[in-house]
């Protein structure tokens, strides 16, 4: 995905993948060559007609960049679809309906939300995959993706996966997305009862994952704080950081749907 100053690459020491659309292979400790900048012939090509997931932390970054509420951002810039989680909708970034379906954030100079561009745009041509069980650390495997239209793979600069993620400032995203992956894994089976994806519980979990302005009101303007034991120092952090609010949302989902995790109901405390 394109940014006016983004440098991104192609496989080098790794065995070259077969040509074709969207070839994907495990990067492991290998390196790849890549650079993305206004000089590549395909500049902004990938910012058209993209089928892109947005993750909870993406929404926070984007809606704040645009000065929108999370509600307005979700309404104006996203659609939901049941994709890899049969019991919980994925949030997808809308493309504009202009010719060629460019991303709504694509300007003549490149990405207009570059500092807060979504995780998928930062990571490309890598696709990090998180996995893990229980409370242990999440494992991240990086796959290298190669689309035939992407000329960034012809550039000289060489990267390890770790160097690439640091260059693209992915660390904060990796941390929150790892926690999200733990929840998303649980949504592959149905925790919502017979009403499934139409249940009120699903709507509450969706709100706590994607709609921070509404979730903030739910935390501070309902009986939430009399029902759950949130230490004062965590409450201060939540007041000052939507990322901390989101992490509370994740803990709350684990508590009210699965009866697990560090957030305790006051009657349990």
DSSP 96: P
d(CA 224, CA 32): 48
Length, in residues, of the chain: 269
Q: Rounded to the nearest whole angstrom, what is the least distance from the CB of residue 60 to ligand SF4 in the complex?
A: 15
Q: Rounded to the nearest whole angstrom, what is the least distance from the CB of residue 148 to ligand SF4 in the complex?
A: 10
In the bound state with ligand SF4, the residue whose beta carbon lies nearer, of 63 and 182, is: 63
In the bound state with ligand SF4, the residue whose beta carbon lies nearer, of 75 and 195, is: 75
d(CA 195, CA 173): 32
In the bound state with ligand SF4, the residue whose beta carbon lies nearer, of 95 and 248, is: 95
Cβ pair 207, 218 in contact under 8 A: yes
d(CA 253, CA 20): 41
In the bound state with ligand SF4, the residue whose beta carbon lies nearer, of 31 and 44, is: 44
In the bound state with ligand SF4, the residue whose beta carbon lies nearer, of 108 and 149, is: 149
DSSP 18: P
Q: Rounded to the nearest whole angstrom, what is the least distance from the CB of residue 42 to ligand SF4 in the complex?
A: 3
Interacting residues toward ligand SF4 by CB under 6 A: 1-2, 8, 36, 40, 42-47, 50, 103, 105-106, 111, 113, 117-118, 121, 124, 149-152
Q: Rounded to the nearest whole angstrom, what is the least distance from the CB of residue 43 to ligand SF4 in the complex?
A: 5
Q: Which helix (H) or strand (E) holds 236?
A: helix 232-240
Q: Rounded to the nearest whole angstrom, what is the least distance from the CB of residue 57 to ligand SF4 in the complex?
A: 14
- Strand ranges of the sheet holding 158-160, from the earlier edge strand across to the other edge: 9-11, 31-34, 158-160
């Amino acid at each position: 995905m394109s940014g006016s100053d983004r440098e991104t690459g192609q496989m080098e020491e790794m065995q070259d993948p077969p040509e074709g659309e969207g070839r994907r292979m495990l990067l492991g400790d290998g390196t790849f060559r890549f650079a993305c900048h206004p000089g590549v012939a395909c500049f902004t090509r990938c910012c058209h007609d993209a089928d892109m997931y947005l993750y909870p932390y993406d929404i926070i970054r984007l809606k704040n960049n645009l000065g929108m509420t999370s509600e307005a951002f979700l309404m104006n810039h996203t659609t939901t679809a049941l994709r890899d989680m049969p019991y919980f909708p994925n949030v997808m970034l809308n493309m504009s309906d202009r010719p060629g379906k460019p991303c709504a954030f694509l300007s003549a100079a490149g990405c207009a939300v570059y500092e807060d561009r979504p995780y998928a745009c930062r990571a490309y041509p890598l696709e990090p995959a998180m996995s893990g069980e229980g409370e242990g650390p999440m494992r991240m495997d990086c796959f290298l993706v190669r689309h035939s239209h992407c000329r960034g793979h012809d550039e000289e600069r060489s990267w390890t996966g770790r160097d690439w993620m640091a260059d693209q400032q992915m660390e904060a995203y990796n941390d929150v997305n790892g926690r999200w992956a733990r929840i998303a894994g649980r949504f592959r089976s149905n925790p919502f009862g017979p009403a499934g994806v139409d249940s009120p519980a699903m709507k509450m979990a969706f709100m706590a994952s994607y709609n921070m302005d509404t979730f903030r009101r739910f935390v501070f303007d309902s009986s939430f704080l009399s029902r759950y034991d949130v230490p004062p120092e965590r409450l201060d952090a939540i007041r000052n950081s939507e990322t901390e609010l989101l992490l509370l949302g994740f803990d709350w989902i684990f508590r009210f749907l699965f009866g697990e995790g560090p957030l305790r109901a006051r009657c349990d405390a």
